[in-house]
Amino acid sequence: MILYRKRVTFTLIFLIFVFISLLLSQNSSVNLQQHIFLAKNKVMPALVHIEPVRTVFSTGERRHALVTGSGFIFSDEGYILTNHHVVENAEKVSCTLSDKKKYSAKIIGSDPSTDVAVIQLNPEEFKGDSLPYVALGNSDSLEVGQIVLALGSPLGLSRSVSMGVISSIDRYFEDTGRLVSPFNLWIQTDAAINPGNSGGPLINLDGQVVGINARGVFLAENLGFAIPINLAQEVAEKLIGGETVKRSWIGVEIRPIKELREYLGNSRLQGVLVDNLDPASPAEKAGLQPGDIITAINNISVNAIYEEDLPAVRKIISDLPVSQPVSLSIWREGKTKSYNLKPQEEPFQYQPEFECEEWGMVVKGITRLIFQSQGLEDYDGVYISAVKNGELAERAGLRAGDIIRSVNKKKIFKKMDFEKLYNDLSESQPDFIFFKVLRQSTPHFAAIDLRKNRNQ
Amino acid sequence: MKAVFKVFLIVLIFIHLLPGSTPRDIYDKVHPTICLVSFFQNISSDAKIGSFDKIKRHCTGILINSSGLVMVTSEVYPVSLDFVSSGGSFLSGVPTEFKVKLATGMEYEATFLGKDDQARVAFIQIQPKNPDESYPYIEFISTQQVGVADRVYVAELLNQNYNFSVLFSPLLINALVESPQRKFLINNQSTALSAGGLVLNEAGEAIGVTISQVFDFTFMQPSDFGDFHKEYLEIAPSEWFINLIENPPNISENQIIQNAWLGIRMQALTPELREYWGVSQKGGVVVNWLFTESPAEKAKLKVGDVILAVDDSTLEVTKDEETAKLRNIILNYPIGSEIKLKLFRDSKEIYRKVKLTAAPKAIGVAEGFPVPEWGFEIRELTQDILYQNNLSLDTRGVFVFQVDRASPGGIAGLNIGDIIQEINGKKITDLSTAKRIIEEELNRTNPMQMVKVWSNRATHFVFIDLKK
């Protein structure tokens, strides 16, 4: 009997143990599910569906296009973080919140080289409402394998959540001058990032934003890329402070030194290798040469052994104050020497296209991509991005791709000069507009005969 | 008087009864002068550096003298030889293993003499089996009398499916184009085999050869008629090449036909520019660019000058496509000629004398050096490459002519068209220095090579890892 009772007690204890362990195991999955719900519920109300009306020029003709994207409110003043490529060239922006309330928004600032933009809901419209907003996390503490959620409003108003893990935190894209940030590494995730998700938040299970979803890969699966929130926050603060994001330019293209170490048989070599120098740049004027190794900037060592180390060095250079003297420690043929130079503002700047309606063409400033592909030797002029069929510019023989160097013998340095000259000439209406352009690095002449136009 | 008239009538009738006037007679007369030419085209191989991929080709040949000189299309060797010639890929080598099969069925070995891209013809020489052998041939006559609506016969060879039989077609000249170069067009025809077919007039006399259509994509194609896709058979009149028959170009003796050049880039004087500058002549050619050390630069021409006339030929050019007129005028002068240019500069007409020199040699015929160990072939840096890249003529280096994609060089990112300036810190001045330095480096055991190149107007370092 005693024996029997003992057995019952034992069985009971065993059953209780099994029950508890079952309960516990259920609890842990409940935990994850609850975490997802909690995180989602924290962020979802601040998720914004953005519909910008964009100006596009198709063969020189001004058109409008409605595009969509995502974003998220990150302050009670109605500031929204999104991608530059979502609000690029937008004439007006309309935002729909999770509760279906619709507001208009204005663009506070946009930075193409990090693909970060800040817009603000119209305070007149949300006056009195308390706006939901998200908490920003720390992207520097992310770990590969960490569970993340990608939120957005792809393909319309309904919100979506997808889950994945951080696949990589140091994804490097070679700087090809396009929409690729040369200043940061990207967060790679397998959470679905689709068109329309762009600008939406990538969040951790605590409901903190760790990245801005920026791009999926066409024809690839489970490859999404997000901009680290720490960088986005830094850019956003500048934009909200009314600054455009100014980056210093010393004119060096750099590459890692891994192969150079092997070539020299020196595995302790530190620094970055200068691959190329931009013409007439501060670095060229200071006497740097391709093949030099920059070992320190203002006596702080820099080092890029692998490609992934390059964005950090580029950022150090771009964050140098403009026009303040900088000393570079240069290693050349075994000797280290110091070179002094003053960084300048980058000669390439993102500027929206400018329409010359009267002449039937659209121009824009010279970007690095144009500079490289056209084989230019300096940074002066404006680029004709489109010429309208049958209009004056086309009849004068101007073509998309030409670089305008002078108009009526006035040299064009920046797009601003051109805009002013265009407006002046529209007013003064001379008989001729005479252009000197560069076409495939060769000078070319063209003239518009406005007298003919008047007689028509 | 009557007797004279009678004699005249008899002579007229006699002339009409002369053989060679019926199409069949013409065919019989011409057939033996058409021959089948076979050869191997050699395309520089990127799989095995320094070797060629050989492709067997056929084309129509025309016997043009009794000692076995054969004229074919210049497409047998699609490489531009000098800066002013239009050419295809520079990766093609000189074609080899020519054979000529006559109408009699006799086949002969033949050698490639050379080509002329302006005339669009190339020449090969039959190797006679007996020293005193002579061959049937045809002579070309002037085409000044030929015009639209004239009947012509075209004799060319069909392809292998038809055993290379002669295709003989009576056709009508449908159009005569004068600019930029005189040629005849026949509507809705495509050649049976390739360019190089013989064109005869109604009397059976040779007046030209067929050429393939070439579109100049430097200019925008007109879309006014939407007829871009129409096919015409183009005929080059005998004047294009008749002088070459006496004195054919000879590559083996290193006498590449060299053409005269002026050394400018140019555009047309549009009506708007003409009004703006106040030029009285209806058109002209505007100088856009002067190549360093070119005849034009030496004669102190300036960017912005308008060329109104060359000697007695007035240039009334108003469209960019017509600027080829100036080029053709210059090409017709022998090297060394002195020409007088009438220019418009700063509202005045001025004259400049220009001594024409030979256009610079092209990379296609430059000396090469394959480096299979590193996976690329380099060539001597020719002036045409420097001109194309707007580089100064004292630029030193060697040209990367071929790269094996999966070789150490290819993996390291070396590209065709790069200019190598330094190898392992040693300056490369020319091909012979490059050869010496590379041979030295090949004897060393350093597994990593550091190559400084100029590509896309920027310097880059290419690290060739021989462990890969």
Contact call for A396 and B272, based on CB within 8 A: yes
* The dihedral sign for the CA sequence B306, B311, B313, B314: positive
Q: How far apart are CA B244 and CA B117, in angstroms?
A: 12
Q: DSSP assignment of A366-410, as one string?
A: PPHHHHHHTT-SS--SEEEEEE-TTSHHHHTT--TT-EEEEETTE
* pLDDT tops 80 at residue A13: no
Catalytic (active site) residue A35: no
pLDDT digits 0-9 by tens, B58-67: 999 999 999 9
Report in angstroms the alpha-carbon separations of A416 from A359, A382, A393, A405, B161. 17, 9, 20, 13, 66
More confident residue, A267 or B181: A267
Residue A240, judged by CB atoms within 10 A of its CB (0-12, 13-18, 19+), counts as middle
Q: How far is CA A84 from CA A107, A179, B434, in A?
A: 10, 9, 49
The amino acid at B195: A
A248-345 maps to CATH 3.10.620.30: no
CB–CB of B275 and A447 under 8 A? yes
User: What confidence tens digit (pLDDT) does each residue in B3-12 have?
Assistant: 666 766 666 5
Going by C-alpha positions, the residue among B170, B194, B163 that lies closest to residue B61 is B194
Question: Do the first three CATH levels of A248-345 and A354-455 match, i.e. the same topology?
Answer: yes
Q: Is the pLDDT of residue B245 over 80?
A: yes
Quick one: three-class SS letters along B278-321?
A: CCCCCCCEEEEEECCCCHHHHCCCCCCCEEEEECCEECCCCCHH
Could you tell me whether strands A224-228 and B426-427 are parallel, antiparallel, or unpaired per DSSP bridges? unpaired
Q: What is the pLDDT of residues A288-334, one digit of tens each?
A: 999 999 999 999 999 999 988 998 999 899 899 998 999 999 999 88
Q: Which residues of A touch B (CB under 8 A)?
A: 253, 255, 259-260, 262-263, 273, 275-277, 290-291, 372, 375, 395-397, 399, 432, 434, 441-449
Q: Which residues of B touch A434 (CB under 8 A)?
A: 276
- CB atoms under 10 Å from CB of A161, counted, come to 19
Q: How far is the alpha carbon of B238 from chain A, nearest alpha carbon, in Å?
A: 36
Q: Residues A365-370: what's their mean pLDDT?
A: 87
Higher pLDDT, A179 or A14: A14
**Torsional class of B59: left (φ above 0), alpha (ψ -120 to 50), beta (otherwise):** beta
Contact status, residue A167 vs residue A190, Cβ threshold 8 Å = yes
Looking at the predicted structure, is the pLDDT value of residue B193 above 60?
Answer: no
Is residue B15 scored above 70 in pLDDT?
A: no
Q: Please give the pLDDT value at position B181.
A: 81
Find how far residue B431's CA is from the centre of its chain.
Answer: 26
- Beta carbons of B304 and A397 less than 8 Å apart: no
Element (H, E) at A204: none
Average pLDDT over residues B27-50: 89
B417: chain A residues, CB-CB within 8 Å: none
Tally of residues, chain A: 456
Q: Is the pLDDT of residue B434 over 90?
A: yes
Residue (of B321, B338, B468) closest to B408 by Cα position: B468
Q: Which of A111, A115, A292, A309 is catalytic?
A: A115
Q: Is residue B280 left, alpha or beta, with left meaning phi > 0 and alpha meaning psi from -120 to 50?
A: alpha
Q: What is the SS3 assignment for A100? A: coil
- From A260, A444, A448, residue closest to B272, measured CB to CB: A448
Chain A residue closest in CA terms to B266: A444
Which chain B residues touch A273 with a CB distance below 8 Å? 461
Cα three-residue angle A255-A239-A370, rounded to 5 degrees: 45
Residues 6+ apart with CB under 8 A from B23: B153, B168, B170
* Interface A-B: count of C-beta contacts within 8 A: 79
In the annotation, is A198 catalytic? yes
CA dist A419 to A168, A410, B10, B20, Å? 45, 13, 84, 74
pLDDT tens string A48-68: 999 999 888 777 778 888 888
What integer pLDDT is reported at residue A68 of this predicted model? 86
Which of A146-160, A439-453, B241-255 is predicted with the least confidence, judged by mean pLDDT?
A: B241-255
Domain A354-455 has CATH 2.30.42.10: yes
From A259, A372, A448, residue closest to B456, measured CB to CB: A372
Residue B37 has pLDDT above 90, yes or no: yes
Contact B458 A444 (CB under 8 A): no
The C-alpha atoms of residue A69 and residue A59 are separated, in whole angstroms, by 25
**Cα–Cα distance measured from residue A172 to residue A180, given in angstroms and rounded to the nearest whole number:** 10
| Average pLDDT value for residue range B208-220 | 72
Position B45 scores a pLDDT of 83
pLDDT at A178 over 60: no
- What's the CA gap between B212 and B192, in Å, rounded? 11
Give me the pLDDT at residue A26, please: 54
User: How many CA atoms lie within 13 Å of B62's alpha carbon, on the beta-carbon side?
Assistant: 28
Provide the pLDDT for residue B405: 84
CATH (residue range A35-245): 2.40.10.120
Q: Is A198 or B70 the better-scoring residue by pLDDT?
A: B70
Distance, CA of B41 to CA of B53 (rounded, Å)? 8
Q: What is the DSSP letter of A205?
A: T
Give the per-residue pLDDT at A48: 93
Task: Spell out the domain ranges in chain A.
Answer: 35-245, 248-345, 354-455
Task: Give the nearest chain A residue to B466 (CA atoms).
Answer: A263
Q: Do B275 and A432 touch (CB under 8 A)?
A: yes
Residue among A257, A254, A190, A259 nearest A226 (CA): A190
For residue A340, pLDDT beyond 90: yes
Spatial CA neighbour of B100 closest among B163, B50, B33: B33
The Cα-based distances of B83 to B264, B385, B403 in angstroms read: 11, 9, 23
Between the two ends of chain A, the Cα-to-Cα distance in Å is: 120
Interchain proximity A449–B461, CB inside 8 Å: no
Going through A69-124 in order, the beta strands assigned E by DSSP cover 69-73, 79-83, 90-96, 102-111, 116-121
Give the span between the Cα atoms of A210 and A228, in whole angstroms: 6
Closest Cβ opposite residue B448 in set A259, A399, A443? A259
Query: Which residues in chain B are contacts of A397 at CB distance < 8 A?
Result: 267, 270, 272, 320
pLDDT-wise least confident of A27-41, B225-239, B429-443, B448-462: B225-239
End-to-end C-alpha distance for chain B, whole angstroms: 97
Cβ distance B461 to A397 less than 8 Å, yes or no, reads no
Please give the angle made by the CA atoms of A71, A77 and A78, to the nearest 5 degrees. Answer: 25
Decide if pLDDT at A286 tops 80.
Answer: yes
Q: Band the pLDDT of B388: cuts 50, 70, 90.
A: confident
Confidence of residue B220 (pLDDT cuts 50, 70, 90): low
**Closest residue by Cα to residue A253 from B158, B332, B461:** B461
| Best-predicted range by mean pLDDT (A220-224, B133-137, B242-246) | B133-137
Distance, CA of B278 to CA of B344 (rounded, Å):
10
Disruptive mutation site among B265, B272, B277, B386 for chain A (greatest number of A CBs within 10 Å): B272
Measure CB to CB from residue A434 to each of B267, B276, B289 and give the nearest one.
B276
- Helical residues (DSSP H) of B49-142, grouped into ranges: none
User: What average pLDDT does chain B have?
Assistant: 86
Instruction: Report the alpha-carbon distance of residue B42 to residue A10 in Å, rounded.
Output: 91
What does residue A40 show for φ and ψ, rounded to 5 degrees? -60, -45
